[in-house]
Chain A
Amino acid sequence: MEYESVIGLEIHVELDTESKMFCNCSTRFGEEPNTQTCPVCLGLPGSLPVANEKAIEYVIKSGLAIGCDISLYSQFHRKNYFYPDMPKNYQISQYDLPLCINGHVDLDMDDYETRIGVTRIHLEEDTGKLIHVGGAGRIAGAEYSLVDFNRAGVPLMEIVSEPDIRTPEEAKVYAQKLRAILISLGVSDCSMEKGSMRVDANVSIRPKGSTEFGVKTELKNLNSFRSLQRALTYEIERQKKALEEGEVIVQETRHWDESKNRTSILRTKEYAHDYRYFPDPDLVPMQFDSSWIESLKAEIPELPDERKQRFIRRFGLPAHDANLLTATKAMGDFFEEAVSIYAGDPKAISNWILGDLSYYLNTENLEIDESAITPKHIVEMLKLIDNGTISGKIAKEIFPEMFETGKMPQAIVEERGMTQISGEDEIAKIIDTVLAENAAVVQEYREGKERAFGFLVGQAMRLTKGRANPQLVNKLLREKL
């Protein structure tokens, strides 16, 4: 049977505010444990929360950026459950009155386009962090556990998608696009590594054409876009196999193990947890007037889709290039900076970014703004090609060194003596050598074997280690033959 997968994502994003959600503590990452705390975020008796307006603003802006309806009346609820990383044993979150509802994100999948609905965006506080000592750092077998409350109370935005995603690739593109949008808005740095962006995936499968939902599983520990895609691919296959073998899919939470490339059961969801949500009486309901919402709308900067259209219009890029270049804000910024200092064809810049640079970035698992190569490197290299100092082939050869060391292309070319040989006399001499060493091939050519010409060009390039100007080699070789 042919199956179709149904995927929904829950994305948690830590907001980049100066202070925490309900107190004045700093949100800075990586400080000494429990140094960024106060009576409020430690949940000490008698302390009270006061909502961070900036965080509310950030969520509403995020909602506006993806076409959400903004609730003019919204409320915080308490989500009650006991866990040592929660100072109050309840989390201030939102329930039936979230800040934003009914949004969407449009995905350009190259050969088709699709729209992913966003059910809601709500605001809550992050929990603390447990550090398990002994037992290899996992709770099972740990000798004891320590709690770091620096993260407790950091504003956390949860974006819940509709189950509109159909492939692991779409899931990845959706998450990446949201990330690009949120970074453009400046509401979060969305670092999956630091945990300021966390993705959980719900996935089920069903016979193609069916409109009913299958039993879903929830995937956790998806620490990169790559693991999101791989975990989903694995899980869909696992579910297919299970169904084909007549097994039943159980609703459960599964843990993605990147090194073993598989998911395993974390906990079953036989009964839903009763969080006993109720409106937090310490926080008055939020009421916004629509003129304030309008003023926030006016502050929204250019978003990835608009940027993509501008790249097509302004730089004459193909849609494919523009789409990829605007997939992250950093990549778009890199491209624009390069274009601004280069008089030549923007497409050439795009080719290098999307070709060699992306290849090496992927290999090293780096973001473009973490790379030693800057727009200046690319432009200097292009200029060397344009003025005939190096060939495109040489450029490709020096690229790894440039990528690794950050040295400028001119310097590398000089150090390695790789400038192109464009002197006619010098090339003529080389051709003479080639002709003398390959008398038999020359004979074949003269007898009408056109392919022999290519061989002779190749020999000339070999002798010069690729530095000979290929056009000149061609021209002089024809003359001599």
Chain B
Amino acid sequence: MELYKLTIHEAHEKLVSKEISAREFTESVFSRIDKVEDKVRSYLTLTKEIAFGQAEKVDRKIASGEKIGPLAGIPAAIKDVMCVEGVRTTCGSKILENYVPVYTSTAAKNLLNEGIIMTGKTNMDEFAMGSSTENSRFFPTRNPWDLERVPGGSSGGSATAVAAGEAIFSLGSDTGGSIRQPAALCGIVGMKPTYGLVSRYGLVAFASSLDQIGPFTKDVRDCAITLNYLIGHDPLDSTSVKIDKPDYTKALSDDLKGVKIGVPRELMVEGIDPKVREAVENALEVFGKSGAIVAETSLPNLDYALSAYYIIAPAEASSNLARFDGVRYGYRVPGTEDLMDMYMLTRAEGFGDEVKRRIMLGTYALSAGYYEAYYGQAQKVRTLIIRDFNRAFEEFDVLVSPTSPTTAFKIGEKIDDPLQMYLSDICTIPVNLAGLPAISVPCGMVDELPVGLHIIGKTLGEEMLLKVAYSFEQNFGWNEKPAL
């Protein structure tokens, strides 16, 4: 059988029962990579040697009768925005083309400590800025369902690695939809946890108040398993929350009796492809069958979310990315005459257009005389959006919408139209502004391309979120794979 097709929970049973070894499992995934990577291009760096070393360790453990955790021996890919000691970490940028971190991010470390097999670092939009992975300074990644189309972004490589069978699960980061949108476009499960639930230490910052790490998995159970090991208070991250770690797999149940599901009308109208909307509406009927109550609701300030986001995120980015200056690490233009020259040329060559566009936007928004009108105003909008969600959650347990207003679009289709590209995240961005958890689960196909259902939970409401997602997945029964 083709082991790379297994889920985490299926593979774990086989590993424990010694039906398969971690080495065989790893071999299967790497031969799949050999077969499809040229077409899909999920990876910026493959870490085959490290992977087989880790597999050997897990196999020794199993052989010696030691108990292994659910993630031990599971091949997984990591978005190239999380530092792993000794492994090149580029953030999809020329400016970090040869950068090798000296420490490992907390999220990656948590999983490595559990014995995952690291397959490699995945392609992404430069510094996580983009919705198609076309902004990678190295190459675009292609959607396994249609190689002419984008996989979404910015965590495109992490999404395609899982969708194409090049990893069993993967890690991404989500600042405005960068996990959920590519998960939707690639027909897999992708989750952004509550802000602060997963440590950001070692995640190269795009917009610090919005960034959150989360998993891409083949199903909701795998998502719950991964989340169990990703979370936890980190003393190295001041924004990391302190909670007792739940076992999220215990929340998985298909009974939704009495669960109230709200559908914000603002996310079902304008700008949503009618076919996508139809697919989501069909999906909603499934909830009715599992005992949930579905009703329309409203988030009146959502119209301003995109504008607020494109002030706050670039403002933070303009400051976060200031450190890439050629002085201490990363790319430096050779032969410049003085400091100013070195700064300017290094950054001009090191960064791509979208990154430069956002640095300029953010710099402008924070400038004296403009701060109140832009950054100050955007923060007020953010507060209003949080209030909208709070009000909706007084009545509902979760909210649902399409994850992306469209299915996967053609490579090159939107790259020269930043505003159209920005609209790809219209449904996901409000969630980041409010710091809420949300998940995308496949809800069928439109024109042979997958559609994602977006489920939004309350702050730290991951258990309810996973329960609803799991129930939907079980009752909807969609199980298609790309023919690659």
Contacts and interface: CB of A to CB of B under 8 A. Distances in A.
B238 A51 contact: yes
13 contacts: A43-B328, A45-B91, A45-B205, A46-B205, A47-B201, A50-B237, A82-B325, A276-B363, A276-B366, A276-B368, A278-B375, A281-B207, A282-B208
A46 B319 contact: no
A318 interface: no
A281 B101 CA distance: 23
B422 interface: no
B99 A84 contact: no
A82 B340 CA distance: 9
Interface residues of B, number: 43
Given A84-B327, A84-B339, A48 B237 contact: yes
B325 A45 contact: no
A48 B327 CA distance: 19
A80 interface: yes
B238 A283 contact: yes
A90 interface: yes
Contacts of A147: 327-328
Interface of B: 82-83, 89, 91, 96, 99, 101-103, 105, 200-205, 207-209, 235-239, 315-316, 318-319, 322-325, 327-329, 339, 343, 363, 366-368, 371, 375
Contacts of A278: 315-316, 319, 366, 371, 375
Nearest to A84: B327
Given A82-B325, A90-B322, A281-B208, A46 B202 contact: yes
A39 interface: yes
Contact of B201 (A48, A80, A281, A284): A48
A186 interface: no
Contacts of A46: 82-83, 101, 105, 200-205
A122 to B, nearest CB: 18
A459 to B, nearest CB: 76
A20 to B, nearest CB: 14
Contacts of B343: 82
A45 B322 contact: no
Interface in A40-84: 42-51, 78, 80, 82, 84
Contact of A87 (B101, B328, B367): B328
B322 A80 contact: yes
A276 B82 CA distance: 28
Contacts, number: 95
A39 to B, nearest CB: 5
Given A45-B101, A274-B367, A282-B208, 4 more contacts: A46-B101, A48-B236, A284-B238, A284-B239
B234 to A, nearest CB: 9
Nearest to A273: B368
Contacts of B83: 44-46
B200 A78 contact: no
B208 A44 contact: no
Contacts of A43: 323, 328
Contact of B366 (A39, A80, A84, A272): A80
Given A281-B209, A281-B316, A283-B238, A45 B323 contact: yes
A50 B204 CA distance: 16
Contacts of A297: none
Interface in A245-283: 272, 274, 276-278, 281-283
A24 B429 CA distance: 35
A89 interface: yes
A44 B322 CA distance: 12
Nearest to A274: B368
Contacts of A283: 238
A376 interface: no
A43 B321 CA distance: 11
B319 A276 contact: yes
Interface centre among A45, A48, A84 (most CB of B within 10 A): A45
Contact of A48 (B96, B238, B329, B367): B238
A276 B367 contact: yes
A307 interface: no
Contacts of B318: 80, 276
A42 B209 CA distance: 21
**Minimum-distance CB pairs A-B, first 5:** A89-B322, A281-B209, A276-B366, A281-B208, A45-B204
Contact of A282 (B82, B105, B235, B238): B238
A36 to B, nearest CB: 15
A278 B316 CA distance: 9
B235 A50 contact: yes
Contacts of B203: 46
A87 B325 CA distance: 10
A80 B375 CA distance: 15
B64 to A, nearest CB: 35
Contacts of A42: 328
Interface centre among A44, A89, A281, A284 (most CB of B within 10 A): A281
A8 to B, nearest CB: 22
B65 to A, nearest CB: 38
Contacts of A84: 325, 327, 339
A42 B329 CA distance: 10
B12 to A, nearest CB: 30
A166 interface: no
A80 B327 CA distance: 16
A104 interface: no
A89 B236 CA distance: 21
Contacts of B209: 281
A44 B368 CA distance: 28
A93 B105 CA distance: 25
B198 to A, nearest CB: 13
Contacts of B99: 45
A90 B319 contact: yes
A347 interface: no
Interface centre among A43, A46, A47 (most CB of B within 10 A): A46
Given A84-B339, A276-B319, A276-B366, A44 B239 contact: no
Contacts of B207: 281
B366 A87 contact: no
Contact of A49 (B238, B316, B323): B238
A161 B270 CA distance: 57
A447 to B, nearest CB: 89
Interface in A288-332: none
Interface centre among B82, B327, B328 (most CB of A within 10 A): B327
Contacts of B322: 80, 82, 88-90
Given A49-B238, A50-B235, A44 B329 contact: yes
Contacts of B324: 45
